[in-house]
């Protein structure tokens, strides 16, 4: 139990495996030969599923801390800048039904009750557009920074859209060549247990036994170590989040210089929703739906109608919404799909990988004995985070006013709504969400995100809140400042396409 933790073995590549390897190796000096040894083992025959093409702003810090060049990342991963999510037809289903969830918090958030003053001064304008400049940048297809800005810098908070396949290969090259990660291509054919029940080694076809002190399971839906070897139970979320199937397609642009959207667009349908992600060379799109509410054939018809009968191939992906009962068991921790997966609404999958790897990095136990304490804390934190993701995704469905199908009606049945979310919604009838409603310093969705969804979807509050105006003059000042910032940025920022093309051709300044 006092054995030192010096060897980390990651099983599985793709975004989960290579992000985890890079985050750990960069922090623990794997390249020096004196730090922690990081080895990644992946099958030469398995193509990574890829958890999606959307990220959160946290990805900027993650890549920068790993020593990645943003220019190289944009060039090699077919990446584009993302500033928000846009939700179409989620409230009423009409063509003009649309709202934004931007990455920048409302201007003045936490200083005054912006909600009551928005209702009083600008009730006919969308909430996000009154309190944030970012929806206006997205509507105009603008980039989050000027061409002269250095890597990672910005005037508007941003994340990325990326090609998941190219991203995994890019990370692999960087981790092996720059960060000292050992890469083994081989089939894992078994797991050898130690006397105390830990994993002692992985048994491979060509490399024999591969020993480690901590094993990280990044094997996707198979969950080879945590699920199959240890038998950690799986908690299904199908009764709360109904979407369990996706049809994915890659759609070319009409012209090479077609605009690149600055947002992930989510368009609600009768049995789910269609995503649309703009990359520099193509769009990634697909229909996420509930197989209990529609057939595969009907779903494909809906997707092709949405794409105006595009004749490309559709790839079907089955989703088993849920997560493992615990995520760290003995000397094994699951990261990525092996820990759990739900529909890609709000693009939480890659962010969860970042958060998981970051906590392993920051809390890496010195010894096997200390691992017991760390794993307990890890499981507690990530169960909380999964619960908050479930709440936030379900919120989008609960607030919908659509009555055109059983899918939307079933989503609003009280028995499908987490009790924690129901209690918060009752509380928020009398005041907006605040930081006091959430307990983590690093909340996966902060109170400001709830503001954008609640008031984007027309959430009504009791009359008592209308009287709690706090400081009308200060709120008005924030609204005016936001309007002035919006005009300034619209005048001075290039389009998303212009910035991407410039970076691909010429690069930008490094900090």
Write down all domains in the chain, each with its CATH number in brackets: 7-53+163-235+322-387 (3.50.50.60), 84-146+240-320+389-485 (3.50.50.60)
What single DSSP character describes residue 367?
A: B
The three state secondary structure string of 261-316 is CCEEEEEEECCEEEEEEECCCEEEEEEEECCCCCCHHHHHHHHHHHCCCCCCCCEE
CB 204 within 8 A of CB 11: no
Q: What is the pLDDT, as a whole number, of residue 30?
A: 74
Give the pLDDT score at 439. 84
Predicted pLDDT of residue 309: 75
Tokens encoding 501: 């093309």
Whether the Cβ atoms of residue 102 and residue 134 lie closer than 8 Å to each other: yes
- Residue 113: name the closest of 463, 457, 451 by CA: 451
* pLDDT score of 51: 45
Is residue 212 within 8 Å of residue 4, measured between CB atoms?
Answer: no
Check residue 15 and report its DSSP letter: H
Q: What is the pLDDT of residues 102-120, one digit of tens each?
A: 999 999 998 988 998 999 8
pTM comes to: 0.96
Per-residue pLDDT tens over the stretch 272-309 = 999 999 999 999 999 999 999 999 999 999 999 999 97
CA 137 → CA 271, 479, 494, 504, distances in Å? 31, 16, 10, 22
CB of 224 closer than 8 Å to CB of 42: no
Residues of the chain with pLDDT under 70: 1, 48-52, 463-469, 511
**Beta pairing class for 7-11 and 214-217:** parallel
What are the residues facing 88 on neighbouring strands? 98, 267
pLDDT at 1: 62
The Cα angle at residue 324 between residues 322 and 325, in degrees rounded to 5 = 115
Task: For residue 366, give both structure tokens.
Answer: 């010195």
Q: Which residues form the catalytic set?
A: 82
pLDDT at 471: 84
* Order of strands across the sheet that contains 84-88: 98-102, 84-88, 263-269, 272-278, 282-289, 245-252, 315-318
Inter-residue contact 66 to 27 (CB < 8 Å): no
Classified as helix, coil or strand, 168 is helix
User: What is the three-class DSSP state of 104?
Assistant: coil
Residues 6+ apart with CB under 8 A from 474: 108, 111, 112
Contacts by 309-314, CB closer than 8 A, 24 or more apart: 310/249, 310/251, 312/249, 312/250, 312/251, 313/249, 314/247, 314/248, 314/249, 314/286
């Amino acid at each position: 139990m006092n054995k030192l933790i010096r060897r980390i073995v990651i099983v599985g590549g793709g975004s989960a495996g290579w992000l985890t390897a890079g985050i750990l190796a960069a922090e623990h000096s794997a390249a020096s030969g004196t730090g922690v040894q990081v080895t990644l083992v992946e099958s030469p025959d398995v193509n990574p599923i890829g958890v999606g093409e959307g990220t959160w702003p946290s990805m900027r810090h993650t890549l920068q801390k790993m020593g990645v060049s943003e220019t190289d990342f944009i060039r090699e991963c077919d990446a584009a800048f993302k500033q928000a999510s846009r939700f179409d037809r989620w409230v009423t289903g009409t063509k003009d039904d649309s709202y934004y969830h931007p990455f920048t918090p409302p201007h003045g958030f936490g200083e005054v009750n912006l909600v009551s003053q928005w209702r009083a001064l600008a009730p006919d304008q969308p909430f996000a557009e009154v309190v944030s400049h970012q929806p206006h940048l997205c509507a105009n297809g603008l980039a989050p920074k000027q061409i002269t800005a250095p890597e990672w810098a910005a005037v508007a908070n941003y994340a990325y859209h990326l090609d998941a396949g190219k991203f995994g290969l890019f990370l692999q090259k960087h981790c092996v060549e720059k960060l000292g990660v050992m890469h083994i291509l081989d089939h894992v054919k078994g797991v050898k247990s130690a006397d105390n029940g830990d994993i002692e080694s992985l048994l491979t076809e060509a490399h024999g036994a591969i020993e480690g002190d901590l094993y990280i399971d990044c094997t996707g839906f198979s969950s080879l170590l945590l699920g199959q070897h240890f038998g950690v139970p799986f908690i299904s979320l199908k009764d709360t989040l109904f979407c369990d199937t996706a049809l994915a397609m890659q759609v070319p642009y009409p012209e090479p210089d077609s605009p690149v959207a600055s947002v992930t667009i989510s368009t609600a349908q009768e049995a789910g929703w269609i995503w649309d992600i703009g990359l520099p060379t193509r769009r990634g799109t697909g229909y996420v739906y509930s197989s209990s509410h529609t057939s595969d054939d009907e779903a494909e018809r809906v997707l092709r109608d949405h794409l105006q009968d595009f004749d490309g191939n559709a790839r079907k992906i089955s989703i088993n919404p849920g997560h493992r009962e615990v995520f760290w068991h003995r000397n094994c921790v699951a990261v990525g799909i092996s820990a759990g997966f739900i529909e890609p609404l709000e693009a939480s999958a890659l962010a969860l990988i970042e958060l998981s790897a970051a906590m392993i990095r920051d809390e890496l136990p010195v010894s096997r004995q200390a691992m017991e304490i760390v794993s307990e804390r890890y499981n507690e934190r990530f169960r909380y985070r999964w619960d908050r993701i479930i709440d936030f995704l379900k919120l989008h469905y609960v607030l919908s006013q659509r009555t055109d199908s059983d899918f939307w009606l079933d989503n609003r049945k009280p028995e499908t709504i987490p009790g924690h979310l129901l209690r918060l919604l009752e509380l928020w009838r009398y005041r907006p969400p605040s930081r006091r409603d959430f307990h983590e310093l690093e909340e996966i969705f902060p109170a400001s995100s709830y503001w954008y969804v609640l008031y984007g979807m027309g959430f009504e509050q009791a009359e008592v809140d209308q009287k709690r105006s706090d400081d009308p003059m200060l709120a008005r000042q924030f609204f005016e400042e936001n309007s002035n910032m919006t005009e300034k940025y619209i005048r001075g920022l290039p389009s998303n396409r212009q910035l991407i093309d410039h970076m691909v051709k010429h690069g930008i300044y490094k900090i």
